[in-house]
Amino acid sequence: MSAGTRHTFIYLWPHPPAHSSSSKPADQVKNRYTRPALQSSVFSSHYERSFHTTAERKNWTEAQTYCRKNHTDLVTLHSQGDTQRPEIPKELTWIGLRRSPVKWSNGDDVKYNNSEDFSDGGWKLYCYVMTASGLWDELNCAEIKSFMCYTKGDSGRSLQYTQIQEQRSWREAQSYCREHHSDLVSISTKEQNEDVRTNGSTPFWIGLMHTAWEWSDGACSTFRNWEKEPEEGSDCGYIINGKMGAQECHMTAEVMCYKEEIHLIQENKTWERALDYCNNHYKGLLRIESRHDQRTLEAELKRVLEAELKNSTAPGPVWLGLRQSRLFGFWFWPNGLSVAWSNWEGWSQPEQPLSHICGAIATSGPGKFKWSDQNCLSESYFLCEGKQRLGSPSLFAVVLVLAQWAECGMEQLRRVEPTRAAVVPHLWRHSNKRPGEVQVERPKLPL
């Protein structure tokens, strides 16, 4: 093929994002090209979960220990759909719900309250707004209101209050404040309550949710479908016939755990060989689309590193599904989305021409769990996601093949990646007149 040949290239990535000159950390820079419909929920990670039940009866604490050792944790239920999964047993089975004292969003104890009906207990769930008088009023957590965030000063003592006028539910407000500030505001004294009131226009959400229950894995799920109100002293949650209940924690029951389908593959491979492996055996190379994804991955990596490697480190950074476009310079994930939320080392996204074009996550050192660019030809352990399966090449593999062809031409692609070059004619036959296709000139670029 000559350098001037024109090709039809199916461009499946979003438009390359404009580089921000903002001094904010990379995870605070918004990407206006991310398609909202495909973003993961702020309440849970996007990773697949598998449920596992053991018929061996245990008390709740033993059940928690067992699940954390052999899987991820006792199961968290996020929706009615979770209670209807075929893996859910009909018999009484422990889940990860346990009674706990009411706390502020940031984990502080409730030392001061300005609600006329506040009680540290009960089984109903509601959230608090501050009213014009400074009193706190109970509302359904799904209602939408403006909200008050706080940011710690450099000393950790001085606080800055910021009211966000955008209307959100309590959980969405909490997620926003944690991402862009410190958290939803917490209040510990009468004087602070007045200070918060005068800094905003009421009513607005504050960081107090009235729930006497928490999940073992720390999840933010507010789903409850109690069969009946739990009795005093019944502090540990179970499920039976699709309904939640509670009993004394020392009693025994079957156990239901869940496993995040995140897999650390302990084989050294280049990035593209790792991509092929994950596409063939799992859903694909792992992606991180939100702060909750990152936290979920960190927890799972800690568990795996301690349980399987018998120490807290792996040999160097491990591959993620991160890749940089050589044509446009933006970073993207295996599902085609450009990176919106990020956790780059030094809070700075690697830029061309100095960057390597493959991404990894550190497993040790001061930059532990930070992302970095690495030489794609270096060999490392890698992370796959999804249940183990026999699979066909993913959409990302198809896009990558066509991208390589467009960049370097068939002859060079056949020489470097003969397996991928062999599938191009088949892909090309089915690429005509597809929605979103554009005409591009094949660049005169080396591989």
Contact (Cβ atoms closer than 8 angstroms) between residue 163 and residue 147: yes
Rounded-to-integer distance, Cα 85 and Cα 99, Å? 25
Asked, for residue 299, whether it belongs to a domain, the answer is yes
Are residues 373 and 322 part of one domain? yes
Are residues 135 and 63 part of one domain? no
Are residues 12 and 141 part of one domain? no
Residue ranges of the chain with pLDDT lower than 50?
1-43, 391-394, 396-397, 401, 403-447
Contact (Cβ atoms closer than 8 angstroms) between residue 424 and residue 397: no
Residue type, 154: D
Contact (Cβ atoms closer than 8 angstroms) between residue 44 and residue 75: no
The three-state secondary structure class of 277 is helix
Are residues 288 and 403 part of one domain? yes
What DSSP element (H or E) covers 194? helix 190-198
Are residues 372 and 266 part of one domain? yes
Are residues 402 and 324 part of one domain? yes
Asked, for residue 117, whether it belongs to a domain, the answer is no
According to DSSP, residue 338 is labeled: B
Asked, for residue 329, whether it belongs to a domain, the answer is yes
Contact (Cβ atoms closer than 8 angstroms) between residue 281 and residue 120: no
With left for phi above 0 and alpha for psi between -120 and 50, is residue 22 left, alpha or beta? beta
Total count of domains within the chain: 3
Strand 183-184 with 145-152, pairing: antiparallel
Residue whose structure tokens are 């944790």 = 73
Are residues 407 and 335 part of one domain? yes
According to DSSP, residue 32 is labeled: T
pLDDT of residue 126: 84
pLDDT of residue 154: 62
Domain that holds residue 138: 126-211
Rounded-to-integer distance, Cα 37 and Cα 274, Å? 28
Contact (Cβ atoms closer than 8 angstroms) between residue 129 and residue 147: no
Asked, for residue 109, whether it belongs to a domain, the answer is no
Contact (Cβ atoms closer than 8 angstroms) between residue 248 and residue 92: no
pLDDT of residue 155: 57
pLDDT of residue 304: 81
Rounded-to-integer distance, Cα 406 and Cα 72, Å? 42
Are residues 354 and 442 part of one domain? yes
Q: Which of 145, 176, 211 is the last residue of a domain?
A: 211
Are residues 221 and 196 part of one domain? no
Asked, for residue 118, whether it belongs to a domain, the answer is no
pLDDT of residue 426: 40
Contact (Cβ atoms closer than 8 angstroms) between residue 119 and residue 126: no
Asked, for residue 12, whether it belongs to a domain, the answer is yes
Asked, for residue 115, whether it belongs to a domain, the answer is no
Here the tokens at position 232 are 């005093």
Are residues 421 and 273 part of one domain? yes
Residues contacting 409, CB < 8 A, separation 6+: 1, 442
pLDDT of residue 132: 92
The three-state secondary structure class of 402 is helix
Residue type, 144: I
Rounded-to-integer distance, Cα 155 and Cα 180, Å? 19
Rounded-to-integer distance, Cα 278 and Cα 283, Å? 6
Here the tokens at position 413 are 């692609």
CATH, residue 405: 3.10.100.10
Q: How far is CA 397 from the centre of its chain?
A: 23
Residues contacting 336, CB < 8 A, separation 6+: 12, 13, 14, 395, 396, 399
Asked, for residue 108, whether it belongs to a domain, the answer is no
Are residues 54 and 40 part of one domain? no
Here the tokens at position 64 are 């928690």
pLDDT of residue 390: 56
Rounded-to-integer distance, Cα 196 and Cα 118, Å? 19
Are residues 362 and 298 part of one domain? yes
Q: How far is CA 133 from the centre of its chain?
A: 38
Rounded-to-integer distance, Cα 70 and Cα 50, Å? 13
pLDDT of residue 311: 53
